Amino acid sequence: MKKTVLLGLSGGVDSSVAALILKKQGYRVIGAFMKNFSDTKNKITGECAWREERKIAIKIASLLDIEFITLDFEEEYKTKVIDSMFKDYSKGLTPNPDILCNKIIKFPLLWQAAKKLGADHIATGHYARINQSKRGFELYSGKDKEKDQSYFLAELSQKDLEHTIFPLGNYTKSQVREIAKKNKFPNWDKQGSRGICFVGKTNMRKFLGQKIKEKKGKIVSPEGEILGEHPGIMFYTIGQKVVEHAGLRINKPKEFAQKRWYVAQKQGNVLVVAPADHSILKKKEVVLKKLHLINPKQKIPKNLKARIRYRGELGPGKLQSNKWVFNKPVNGVAKGQVLVLYSNNKLVGCGEII
């Protein structure tokens, strides 16, 4: 009897090819479109973006002759991910909603639905790999280093990995597009999703402004010189380039424009900015709120490297209890973001930066 896989079928090329691969491997595949956010609209048609994506997903399911269902997780997504994100930003933090979404929405709810359907596994189009050892399951980065998405999966647990399949882990993005083109998928050259998980690319200032009120404050240099006024520290993140725009006022714009300025610190409602390469922008020690290990039964390797953002540079260092110390100072360490630890290609664990 064929094993059944419930696959998150988004309408993108990655999950479409994942469906094809699983079917060729002999699985009975059920494509599940997840409706999580209906506020994003197509600027041209005015139609909810999810409806357009769902139409493509239905076409793919029809081409592959697989079952198709729609799962509505919008209420859970808005209350547990979006509301949480607004709350963190209002505190001046820089959260990662994609990691949170995978941890509490996409993987657990997809598995919940899978069990009701009698499915044996769930699958997604993530570029990552899972390996089973005597001591449990391990998570590895995808073969395509430019597309590797293991960072976003850093909060997954053994319970998540034991029933999950990542069909694209050993493929490159170019290979995936070639497979899609060869099989005449209508989305073979479709641009990949960007921005917030299920929301898409958006103007963060306007998006956050829906629920977070402006609170004007001073912009100062590391030496304390007042450079201008900002609309609220909530709209900025550590390491972000500072440019004059609506709501942000610079006292001497011509002089300011002569250098590249970046957000260095948030002190109360004061935004401290510094020119590129200033020492205040760099940090060696990163304190973590809680360390999450992918496989708690395995010893933590000594040859660790860490990154503080998706596709950020991997920097060597040492883990000291709940603190990570980089060998060399790094730029843009922001509270609320997630530091992810790797040992070669294996993702060891992660922790929220505080």
Q: What are 180-223's pLDDT values in tens digits?
A: 999 999 999 888 765 565 565 667 778 888 889 999 999 999 99
* Contacts of residue 174, Cβ cutoff 8 Å, sequence gap at least 6: none
If asked whether residues 171 and 22 sit together in one domain, one would say: yes
As a whole number of angstroms, the distance between CA 304 and CA 318 comes to 7
| 101 tagged catalytic | yes
Q: Which tokens belong to 278?
A: 């200033």
Here the CATH number for the domain that contains residue 319 is: 2.40.30.10
One-letter identity of residue 218: K
Residues of the chain with pLDDT under 70: 39-48, 193-202, 246
**What confidence score (pLDDT) does residue 195 get?**
54
**What confidence score (pLDDT) does residue 40 get?**
53
Q: Which tokens belong to 38?
A: 């209906």
As a whole number of angstroms, the distance between CA 219 and CA 266 comes to 10
If asked whether residues 227 and 307 sit together in one domain, one would say: no
If asked whether residues 248 and 332 sit together in one domain, one would say: no
If asked whether residues 43 and 113 sit together in one domain, one would say: yes
If asked whether residues 61 and 174 sit together in one domain, one would say: yes
If asked whether residues 27 and 108 sit together in one domain, one would say: yes
Which of 34, 101, 154, 161 is an active site residue?
Answer: 101
In degrees and rounded to multiples of 5, residue 104 shows phi and psi of: -115, -10
Q: Per the structure, how many domains does the chain have? A: 3
If asked whether residues 348 and 255 sit together in one domain, one would say: no
Domain boundary among 227, 251, 277: 277
* Contacts of residue 182, Cβ cutoff 8 Å, sequence gap at least 6: none
As a whole number of angstroms, the distance between CA 68 and CA 57 comes to 8
Helix or strand run (H / E) with residue 352: strand 346-353
Domain boundary among 259, 277, 295: 277
154 in any annotated domain: no
Q: What are 298-334's pLDDT values in tens digits?
A: 999 999 999 999 999 999 999 998 999 999 999 999 9
Domain with 66 in it: 4-125+167-182
Which of 161, 197, 263, 272 is an active site residue?
Answer: 197
Here the CATH number for the domain that contains residue 237 is: 2.30.30
187 in any annotated domain: no
**What confidence score (pLDDT) does residue 199 get?**
61
Quickly count: other Cβ atoms within 10 Å of residue 210's Cβ: 9
Here the CATH number for the domain that contains residue 27 is: 3.40.50.620
**What confidence score (pLDDT) does residue 206 get?**
81
136 in any annotated domain: no
If asked whether residues 120 and 238 sit together in one domain, one would say: no
206 in any annotated domain: no
**What confidence score (pLDDT) does residue 87 get?**
94
If asked whether residues 62 and 43 sit together in one domain, one would say: yes
If asked whether residues 40 and 173 sit together in one domain, one would say: yes
